Structure formats: structure tokens, C-alpha cells
Chain A
């Protein structure tokens, strides 16, 4: 039987398919790579309103805010209640918040610090809420 020469695969075909595959892989992965969380953002919520949003990775050192009797410290890797004049001090005892979803609440003083992941991806450990 005679082989059909028009169907024989040549080096150019392999290159073409490889280029196409690479293009597709890049297109497919781009949105996912873009949405990998690059860092953490802290929200300072006072009386139910977001008073300040701090991109932690953009900080050079510690930033301190004092509000409603609470002193909150933001640093490049975490956020924490440093002190509070509330009766139980549970917000201070909670220590350093380091991951997306971590939240510390000072109920008596109505101050909340919560960390959210940069970007909208559900990958990389981002959570929608924390049960506590």
C-alpha cells in the first residue's frame, strides 16, 4: 500500500503544535497566576465601619493606630491589638493575626481587625469566613 505523503508529519508541524500548546497553556494559566494571593491586607473596623485599610506588604515598619481605647499595630507580616482598656482584654490575648480570615474583635470597644487576602482567588488558603 502506498503511504499518503500529504499526511506525513514534518518538523514544522511539531513546532506549530508545540507553539500552540504553549500559547494555550499560557492563556489558561494567566488568570490563575494573576489571582494568587500576593499578600495580606488588614481592615480596621470601628463601630461597624471600615475606618482604614492597610496593605501589610507595603509597610516598611510598624504602623500604630489608637481608636476607642484600643491600640492596634500593623506590621509587614501581621496585625495585633497591642493594648485595650476593655475589662477582659481578650483582643490583646488573641495575639498576632497572620493569615487571611484571621480576625480579632474588641467587643466592648467595638473595634475589629481582620485580614483579607490580596486578590480574589479562592486558592492559597483564602477563606470566606471563620467560625470561632
Chain B
């Protein structure tokens, strides 16, 4: 009798222990410091998780404002505005961007080109957009040539009249700077969104569960077609729906092929790139959109990046090591 009671108590203890282990998974949630703002010409939001709820989000926002003051051609006193006016500026961040993007421009045959500013200004997507005249476009294309950009130390020079537009990399770079800063603090985990570029690290609680990043459905702009799950890294999407207008029955979107001055004709609706560097994920998503899927593979391989492609027929394809699930399957 005693043995049977002992066995029952032992079983009960084991089961309760197992149950306790299972329940503990969600026990400890970190305090969250949440913030939203408009910066870099887009919407910025972040959730920073820590043990004691320390506030770092204001410092992150300040960092993003400072970056905007450096790399936005719209800011009159920025180094990029100075470069566009005078053909010369000295700034470590701008020099670094140009150095890192040159191989991507080369790999795309010049379709991806940071000196596309004269062309993008003509299209004026930020103010509703309009199709430029052919002769206007041809004149602007004369100024587009990434090989004319030179760096020596922190000094950057370009050809007369060239207009640098860092819109294809700025949001991803903001994610890089923010995540680098946060990793050196007591923040245990963060998810940061600068426009459509996302940076994540750590975890929201002690479970260490990975982050889930939805990808906007290019055929249903208010919805998502899939989710990428990742522990750490950067996710950027380029799609034909983000900025566009219709004129004379035709739809024009903002991802411009710098060799033609026209919206890309790669047959893609969207490309989402996952990479361990935010600026590169941002640049690569644009570059891959311009190249089309097949031609993007070597470029993605070179940067050890992965991607989700959606073509004009709605076909979804994956390249590289990525944990992706369609929304209706996840």
C-alpha cells in the first residue's frame, strides 16, 4: 500500500514539474520602451525591451534625425546637399555609403545608381508624381553615372551637376546605427522599423522566441502574404506599390532604372531581402527589384543574403537561407 502511494506521489511530482517547466515559458516579459516618429521622410517605430524599462528610444530617434541631417539631399546644410551643389563634401558616413554601394551598382550594370537624383527629382513622387518629358529625362540621364563618384578618405567628389539621392539605402542604414547602439546598452531585444526596413536583435522576453516580420502583399496593399521568422538581422522590401501614380491610364512607380530613367521592368511586384546588414538589405532589395529574380541570385550570394520574390503573376519564390511561411500556412 505504501509503495503504491509512493508511486502515485512520485508520478504527481513528475507531472507537476513537467507542467511547471511548460508554464514557465511565458513567465518573464521584459519592460517595453515604445516610440514612434516621422524621420528620413518616412514613419519610424520601435519597441525596445529591457529588464528595468530604461529609455533608449529618444536617443535612437536623435541618432536617426542626425543621420537624416547628414544624408538627406533635402536638408540644405547636409553634406549630401553640399555635394550636389558643389561637387564635393567631406563626411565619413557618406564616403562609406558610396564605397559600399559601388560594387552593387556595378553588379546591376548601373541600374542601381546613387547618382539617380536628377531623374528622381523629375518624377517628383513625393508630391504626387508626374511623367517627365522625354527630352527632360534624357538631359537628366546625362548626369547619372556612379563611376564619376570618387572617395579619398572621408572626402567625396562627383561630376558637375550630379545629384546624389541616398533614398535607396538611408532607411536600412538608420536600422544599422540604431541596432549597433542598442546592442551596447542594457536593452535585451529590439524591433525597429524605418519605413519598410526592419532591424531586430535579442528577444522580447526570456523565452528567446524569434521575431516575426510580416511582408506586405503587393496585390492587397493593406494585407500581408507571409511572415519571416528570424532571431537577428535586417529585412527590407522594395515593391511597386509603395509610391506610385497613374497618368493617362498608366501606372508609374518609384523604383527607377538608372539606365533608362523609367520605372523598373523586371516583371517583379516586390522583393524582400534578409541580410546581416541593414544598409545592404535596403540596397539589395532595390537592386534585385531592378535586376529581376534570376539575375539577382549571384548578387544575393555574394552578400550572403536571402530573398523572397513576388512576380507580376503572384508567384512567390525564395532564394537562400530564410525561414519564410505564407500567412495562410503559418
- A interface with B by C-beta (< 8 Å): 4, 6-7, 10, 13, 16-17, 20-21, 24, 27-28, 30-31, 35, 45, 47-50, 80, 87-88, 90, 93-99, 101-105, 107, 110, 112, 114, 120, 122, 125-132
Asked if B87 CB lies within 8 Å of chain A CBs, one says no
Q: Which 10 A-B pairs have the closest CB atoms?
A: A87-B128, A132-B216, A127-B214, A132-B196, A48-B37, A131-B237, A24-B19, A130-B214, A128-B191, A101-B214
Given A28-B23, A88-B243, A122-B209, is A13 in contact with B16 using a C-beta cutoff of 8 Å? no
Answer yes or no: B247 CB below 8 A from chain A CBs.
Answer: no
The reply to whether B224 and A102 form a contact with Cβ atoms under 8 Å apart is yes
Known contacts: A28-B23, A50-B36, A88-B243. The answer to whether A131 contacts B215 by CB under 8 A is yes
Q: Hey, which bits of chain B sit against chain A, CB under 8 A?
A: 1-4, 7-8, 11-12, 15-16, 18-19, 22-23, 26, 29, 35-38, 41-43, 45, 47, 125, 127-129, 191-193, 195-198, 200, 204, 209, 211-216, 220-224, 227-228, 235-237, 239, 242-245, 272, 327, 330
B214, A131: Cβ atoms closer than 8 Å: yes
Q: Decide: B19 and A28 in contact? CB cutoff 8 A.
A: yes
- Which residues does chain B contribute within 8 Å of A31, judged by CB atoms? 23, 26
Q: Which listed residue, B11, B125, B214, touches A17 by the CB 8 Å rule?
A: B11
Indicate whether A6 sits within 8 Å of B129 (C-beta atoms), given known contacts A105-B43, A129-B193: no
User: Contact at A94–B221, with CB atoms within 8 Å?
Assistant: yes
11 A-B residue pairs with Cβ-Cβ distance under 8 Å, sorted by A, are: A10-B4, A20-B12, A21-B15, A49-B36, A99-B327, A127-B227, A129-B198, A129-B213, A129-B235, A131-B216, A132-B237
Name the A residues within 8 Å of B23 (CB-CB): 27-28, 30-31
CB distance from A99 to the nearest CB of B (A): 6
Nearest residue (CB) in B for A9 is B4
* Cβ B8 vs Cβ A99 within 8 A: no
Complex Cα gap A93–B196 (Å):
17
List of B residues within 8 angstroms of A102 by Cβ: 222-224
B8: chain A residues at CB < 8 Å are 13, 16-17
Q: What CA separation (Å) do A54 and B37 show in the bound complex? A: 20
State in angstroms the CA–CA spacing of A9 and B4 once bound together: 8
Task: Please give, as numbers and ranges, the residues of chain B lying within 8 Å of A96 by CB-CB distance.
Answer: 222
With A21-B15, A112-B43 as contacts: A98 and B191 at CB distance below 8 Å: no
Complex contact A130–B216 (CB within 8 A)? yes
B19 and A27: CB pair below 8 A?
Answer: yes
A88 to B245, CA, bound (A): 7
Residue of B nearest to A106 (CB): B43
Complex Cα distance A94/B129, Å? 17
> Besides A7-B3, A16-B8, 4 other CB < 8 A contacts?
A49-B36, A93-B221, A99-B327, A131-B237
A24 to B18 Cα, complex, angstroms:
8
Residue contact A131 to B196, C-beta cutoff 8 Å: yes
Task: Tell me how far the C-beta of A39 lies from the nearest C-beta in chain B, rounded to whole angstroms.
Answer: 17
Q: Is the CB of A128 within 8 A of B38?
A: no
Q: Once the chains bind, are B222 and A94 in contact (CB under 8 Å)?
A: yes
